[in-house]
Structure 1
């Protein structure tokens, strides 16, 4: 009886500057232990990336996804979800991509392993919670926009020139856990102007949030 070939797995390890994050050695050890237990052919790919808020600007991850799409590997594995993304919606989208392209996703801390029936069921549950999160954020954004429209039409002390998608983005990033300073940095990096055409600061982000929801915490 022929033995099935070993699953070719990319073990993605993200190293950040946050001292509270788990170190690369711990991530690698967890992935290697699972590979030994399940007989994977494991290749570790390590990336220095401070943030997992977005899947953008991570060339090592981008390369891994290209290799998976071309079927040079069978699965992408991470020791914890936050090594891949802190945004459950992003993770859900990646699960959908994996299913469409024919490769597997493995996330040890969530029990997600789409090569098994149980792990695939966990992936489906994750996708459900991601959809609920998207709807919750969308609902809050609609309420926020309605409140802004119902108010005097002023934001930051003068008529608001903020597009609806900018306001929606601020609320979505805040819901995802980004600090006001981080939101300001992202808006500035993307060239998004404030209502007065100036640079974003944590205080201007706060004004957008508190104009609708009341005092906001940093």
Structure 2
């Protein structure tokens, strides 16, 4: 340390991990740590010039120089040439025990190396670390190894304990899924049960998603109604609901890292009563798969993502961007022609995206632009017949297994038989309530919504309306043509609209109910027969 000062300058370092088994233990509390540091500094004649107090920070996950408070004093040792920090304002770091400064041998070794190169000392108040002596440096390295080993042992012990609880279908602690709440059981331990309010909110979300309503539309609806969000902060419309709807607790399964936990016989362990039926779960996952956006998509949103297809082979249309002399050009093309990871299956040419989107907009607005956007309001029903059949079958299997079995087996099966009997009795007493769907006008036309939306919002409008697009580039011999709404041959679920222009052929598939509103004719007869148009240059 510098000889120009009568006292060495010390920085007090305090850390408390949020993963501590006993966060209220006075031996690890911030106040207790500060007391040890002040006492050691007084005995050594060190002046405390500052404090770096990091609470709810894991030493295993966050290096000392990256912590919110200590990182303000230390340079970034992850850099080849460490910079930053306020290391010129202190001569030593003082901490209670080595695990308060680091639990990684690598992190601690870097800290020791930096301290040696910059004439700094590291002092643990329990006497295990003091870099002012060679013995202290050696002991510091040895103690660091054992600190990391202890952390690994603690982590393994915690994980083993939680795994044992999962194997028993009990809640192992930590964050619990939305719609559920942990409750202590009379027999000991905790189990997840349905939250009295949030469970019904979650059931409504599931049914709306299955019915085809978008996440954003559901979010807006809940925000208007003032339904509290899972986080208690953000608006529903700003939340990402997919992880909630993918959680297998919805069907009562115990999970680990997203996968179901199984017993020794390969059976999935039930952690709680299911919130929805297996049929609802399968329909929900199918709907989520249909509307999900690939993680490896290009930057920006394609208006035709998963609703635009090649008119020649039926493969999805992709969006590509090219910059020529500083000007960006966008092209829509068949994935069968553009995919670089598989054999080319289509020879369709790319289409200028602005031309294609302009044609789609013109066709849509001419057909449905002046129609009012209709919103579906669903009144939830209640039908537990599927769960009743499932629970009744399980109860019957257990009764058969118990009949004539040894007394030890009967004792083991008795709690499950009793629980299933109670649940079956409850389900048998519940009436079947059919869901009711009503349609309410939004007060805005499709044209108004379209003109006030960006590509992402327009895509959502197309998805919610059930509209599908097929497009392909034609050779130069084709003349322009236009066909307004007609019934799709051999199909009753949608009508089609065709337009050829600028060497591009576009077909819109519009749901039958929307086509009926557009034409005012339940039969959706041919409105505008083919007529040659001049090819646009």
Give the TM-score normalised by the residue count of structure 1: 0.53
Provide Cα deviations, 1:24-56, integer angstroms capped at 9, x if missing partner: 332222111111111112134153522435326
SS of the aligned residue for 2:94 comes to: strand
Instruction: State the alpha-carbon separation in 2 of the partners of residues 13 and 173 from structure 1.
Output: 21
Q: Residues 128-167 of structure 1: matches in 2 within 5 Å?
A: 128-129=145-146
Rate the CA distance shift 1:123–1:110 in 2: closer, same or farther, 3 A: same
1:13 aligns with 2:18: no
Is the Cα–Cα contact under 8 Å of residues 10 and 45 in structure 1 kept in the other structure? yes
**Which residue does the alignment assign to 2:139?**
122
Shift of 1:182: 5.0
Q: Residues 90-129 of structure 1: matches in 2 within 5 Å?
A: 92-102=105-115, 103-109=120-126, 111-129=128-146
Instruction: State the alpha-carbon separation in 2 of the partners of residues 9 and 176 from structure 1.
Output: 36
Instruction: State the alpha-carbon separation in 1 of the partners of residues 9 and 44 from structure 2.
Output: 11
Unaligned runs of 5+ in 1: 138-171, 186-193, 212-218
Please point out which of 90, 93, 96 is paired with 1:76. Answer: 93
Structure showing greater relative contact order (alpha-carbon pairs closer than 8 Å, 6 or more residues apart): 1
SS of the aligned residue for 1:43 comes to: strand
Please point out which of 28, 46, 49 is paired with 1:43. Answer: 49
Rate the CA distance shift 1:129–1:82 in 2: closer, same or farther, 3 A: closer
Instruction: State the alpha-carbon separation in 2 of the partners of residues 105 and 176 from structure 1.
Output: 30
SS of the aligned residue for 1:109 comes to: coil
SS of the aligned residue for 1:10 comes to: strand
How many residue pairs get matched?
A: 164
Instruction: State the alpha-carbon separation in 2 of the partners of residues 177 and 44 from structure 1.
Output: 35
Shift of 1:12: 1.2
Is the Cα–Cα contact under 8 Å of residues 15 and 100 in structure 2 kept in the other structure? yes
RMSD of aligned alpha carbons: 4.7
Provide Cα deviations, 1:139-171, integer angstroms capped at 9, x if missing partner: xxxxxxxxxxxxxxxxxxxxxxxxxxxxxxxxx
Instruction: State the alpha-carbon separation in 2 of the partners of residues 199 and 71 from structure 1.
Output: 51
Instruction: State the alpha-carbon separation in 2 of the partners of residues 38 and 200 from structure 1.
Output: 58
1:59 aligns with 2:68: yes
Provide Cα deviations, 1:118-154, integer angstroms capped at 9, x if missing partner: 32121121244467679xx7xxxxxxxxxxxxxxxxx
Unaligned runs of 5+ in 2: 76-83, 163-171, 178-242, 263-537
SS of the aligned residue for 1:113 comes to: coil
1:205 aligns with 2:264: no
**Which residue does the alignment assign to 2:31?**
25
